[in-house]
Structure 1
Amino acid sequence: MLRSQADAFSCVLFPSLCRICQDPLLLFSRVPICSSCWKQLPTQTEPLCRLCGDALQGIPDDALCRNCTMAPPEFSRAVAHGVYRTHLRAMIHLLKYDGMRRLAEPLGRLLAAQVAAMEGLPAEMTVIPVPLFARKYRQRGFNQAEVLARALIRLLRESRPECSLRLAVNALERRRETESHAGLNPSQRRRNVRGAFFVPKPDGIRDRHILLVDDIYTTGATARACSQALRKAGAKSVTVATVARAQLQLDALAPHGEESRMEEDVARWDSPATGENGFAAMGAISERESDGRGLDGT
């Protein structure tokens, strides 16, 4: 009763609208999103690929999608809370583009629930956020993957206290600026991240289980590139966790014949061009990067 009176009093003194549906907020909250919008987050209901989490259309559950069959990724599994659309998409944009960092806590809770529900979760994991290029980090002022990773660790320790989690922000670096993935097709996305990621100190992740965190998983180009860099550096396993997953039409995901070349669309280890522990790009691409608000996730 006292709580309801306090909420009503706060709403009268400090009226605010939900940043998604624009309805008046009836409860005082540090995150200006109404309870109705939180309840309408799109979830994943279709049978999913047991590796990347893409929707399986007409394929039995616990199977592999077309891309994972043709070119298995270096990560062991990718999990996400829901589909990247409507309210969940709007919340990620509020965090990522509007700087609403307080959203990292509730979104991190959704992500932590997905990770906690995984079977066979390693007892010790190193949590690594997908890095931003230095210029992008300076422009944005923060890395959305890092704030989500910090919230995930804090909340996962509550639900799975037996797990030992260590955050390693600088274990993976983005060595060059890449284009925004907005407007790029799957093949262009894979070319875009070629050679972009490297592990500066492989000893720090060798023989460790890695939990790679990002906000969105779209075609998987970034997740594949990061995972291969980590595995080549000696990581024992890589699990990918994102808040949202874009469920794409399987036939449109990659042109016929390109799936078999996915494993070539990442950097090489021990390249003569970069020295003993470096990566070399396997092709020249544009290094422009925009802040497009499309499907620009993992």
Structure 2
Amino acid sequence: MKYVKLLYEYIDVFLNFIYPRNIYCILCSASIDRDEEYSICYECKRKLKFIYGKTCEKCGKPLNDLYLINKCNDCVDNTYFFTKAVSCLEYDDLSKKIIYDLKYHKKRYISYHIAEIIYDRLKEENISCFDIIIPVPLHEAKERERSFNQAYLIGKYISKMTEIEVDNKALLRVKNTVTQNKLTKEERMTNLEGAFKVVNKDNINHKNILLVDDVFTTGATVNRCSKILLENGAKRVYVATLATGRNM
């Protein structure tokens, strides 16, 4: 496994030569100026729905103005174990393309730009009090199939930007669950039972954790991870994702 990870590091370096940053837009492939943020052209950036304004104080989903409190109905009705979650973009066809190009079209270089977007969002939300970064893990069979864990790639770059350690060993997915986006909310909860295990308690004990993933939908996955981490000694868990849905 160590040699595989080393190979991935070489692949990252190689990809940076093939796809130099800030030359082409990661969404439309148009040529861009070197100083364009996130390697996204002006027109595509204008179309992306960046999350600003009123959001749920717990899960970070954008709220419309009819909400009288800063908490969505899901967070009022359900127990979430993380302290706070933040996302950067509303999940729509455009933000979905960024994620799918990374996960399924194997455009690993996009993980750097996702990390940039998340890092800026964390600064906006004044979330800096974490001691360690943990990516939501993939089961080893799924990681072999995909050849990488997108959450780890994103977490690795956030680690470089913050100079805070990323640990993809402390939390493992020990159950090869089916894809969550095909399940109902209740099925998602059942699907995740017994899915995660902490194997390095010393590295999370009494620590504030930043849990990183690509998308926050119902929050079932990050909530189960948060619960396991807290039960094994973590102090607090914050969640950061690129995209999330809107609570109407």
TM-score, length-scaled by structure 2: 0.81
Residue equivalent to 1:272: none
One-letter code of the match for 2:58?
Answer: L
Residue equivalent to 1:145: 151
Range moving further from structure 2, 43-52 or 213-222? 43-52
CA deviation vs aligned residue, 1:220-277 (integer Å, no higher than 9, x gap): 000110000000001000000001112244xxxxxxxxxxxxxxxxxxxxxxxxxxxx
Residue equivalent to 1:262: none
Greater Cα radius of gyration, structure 1 or 2: 1
| Cα displacement (A) at 1:181 | 1.3
Task: For 2:54 and 2:191, locate their aligned partners in 1 and report how far apart those are by CA, in whole Å.
Answer: 30
| Cα displacement (A) at 1:151 | 1.3
Find the residue that maps to 1:182 and give its secondary structure: helix
Q: Does 1:134 align with 2:133?
A: no
Task: For 1:204 and 1:19, locate their aligned partners in 2 and report how far apart those are by CA, in whole Å.
Answer: 35
Residue equivalent to 1:50: 57
Question: 1:40/1:156 Cα in 2 relative to 1: closer, same or farther (>3 Å)?
Answer: farther
8 Å contact 1:25–1:32 — kept in the other structure? no
| Cα displacement (A) at 1:45 | 4.0
8 Å contact 2:81–2:227 — kept in the other structure? yes
8 Å contact 2:137–2:172 — kept in the other structure? yes
| Cα displacement (A) at 1:32 | 8.6
Greater helix share, structure number: 2
Q: Does 1:26 align with 2:31?
A: yes
- 5 Å matches for 1:64-75? 64-75=71-82
Percent identity over the alignment is 31
Task: For 2:67 and 2:33, locate their aligned partners in 1 and report how far apart those are by CA, in whole Å.
Answer: 45
Residue equivalent to 1:36: 43
Residue equivalent to 2:100: 93
Find the residue that maps to 2:188 and give its secondary structure: helix
Give the RMSD, CA atoms, in angstroms: 2.4
Task: For 1:118 and 1:231, locate their aligned partners in 2 and report how far apart those are by CA, in whole Å.
Answer: 22
| Cα displacement (A) at 1:33 | 6.1
Task: For 1:115 and 1:45, locate their aligned partners in 2 and report how far apart those are by CA, in whole Å.
Answer: 13
Residue equivalent to 1:226: 225
Task: For 1:151 and 1:199, locate their aligned partners in 2 and report how far apart those are by CA, in whole Å.
Answer: 23
Residue equivalent to 1:253: none
- 5 Å matches for 1:170-209? 170-209=169-208
| Cα displacement (A) at 1:103 | 0.6
Question: 1:120/1:37 Cα in 2 relative to 1: closer, same or farther (>3 Å)?
Answer: closer
Question: 1:236/1:98 Cα in 2 relative to 1: closer, same or farther (>3 Å)?
Answer: same
Range moving further from structure 2, 71-80 or 44-53? 44-53
Question: 1:18/1:67 Cα in 2 relative to 1: closer, same or farther (>3 Å)?
Answer: closer
Residue equivalent to 2:68: 60
- Count of residues in correspondence between the two structures: 222
Residue equivalent to 1:125: 131
| Cα displacement (A) at 1:47 | 2.1
CA deviation vs aligned residue, 1:62-108 (integer Å, no higher than 9, x gap): x2222222333110000011111132110111011101011111111
Find the residue that maps to 2:182 and give its secondary structure: coil
Question: 1:18/1:117 Cα in 2 relative to 1: closer, same or farther (>3 Å)?
Answer: closer
* Structure 1 unmatched runs, 5+: 1-15, 158-164, 250-298
Question: 1:33/1:51 Cα in 2 relative to 1: closer, same or farther (>3 Å)?
Answer: closer
Find the residue that maps to 2:180 and give its secondary structure: coil
TM-score, length-scaled by structure 1: 0.68
Range moving further from structure 2, 125-134 or 145-154? 145-154
CA deviation vs aligned residue, 1:162-181 (integer Å, no higher than 9, x gap): xxx11111110001100101
